[in-house]
Copies of this chain bind each other. A is one copy, B any other.
Amino acid sequence: MSAVEFADASLDPALAARLRPAGHTPDGRPLVTAVAQDADSGRVLMVAWMDASALAATLRTREATYWSRSRQELWVKGATSGNRQRVVDVALDCDGDTVLLRVRPEGPACHTGLTSCFDTLTLLAAGDGDGTAA
């Protein structure tokens, strides 16, 4: 995969060269994974995708902006729901395919109305022996 796979008029070329795809759009454009974390509570709120233009918009506007795989369009978080995420800082991970956004949410992150998309289903609860091998 080319170092310029993420090349986009809106994105700093030096940054584009650092990015690696975690996935692709149906028409083959590369996507990075984006994790949004509440900057104050530390809670992980949601995980979504960004194409080059969504990442560029996020960095430029400090409004979390994703690529919606279901709607196949740029998605300014909260543009319709009002539940925007103001971006405090953004970090790229060591292999260049995931960004971590620390945000100040203006409402629930989840379309279900829950604070976090991870409030839906606990697969393994903390309990006796938590943190130790079974």
Contact = CB atoms under 8 A, between A and B. Distances in A.
Tell me how many chains of this kind the complex includes: 2
A86 B133 contact: yes
By size class, the interface of chain A is 35 or more
A79 interface: no
Given A62-B132, A88-B126, A118-B93, A44 B33 contact: no
Closest 5 CB pairs of A and B: A42-B42, A90-B124, A86-B131, A91-B118, A93-B117
Contact of A112 (B58, B94, B121, B129): B94
A60 interface: yes
Given A23-B22, A117-B94, A121-B18, A89 B33 contact: no
Contact of A44 (B37, B58, B110, B130): B37
Given A35-B35, A110-B94, A88 B131 contact: yes
Contact of A35 (B44, B86, B91): B44
Contacts of A123: 15, 59, 90-92, 99
Nearest to A111: B94
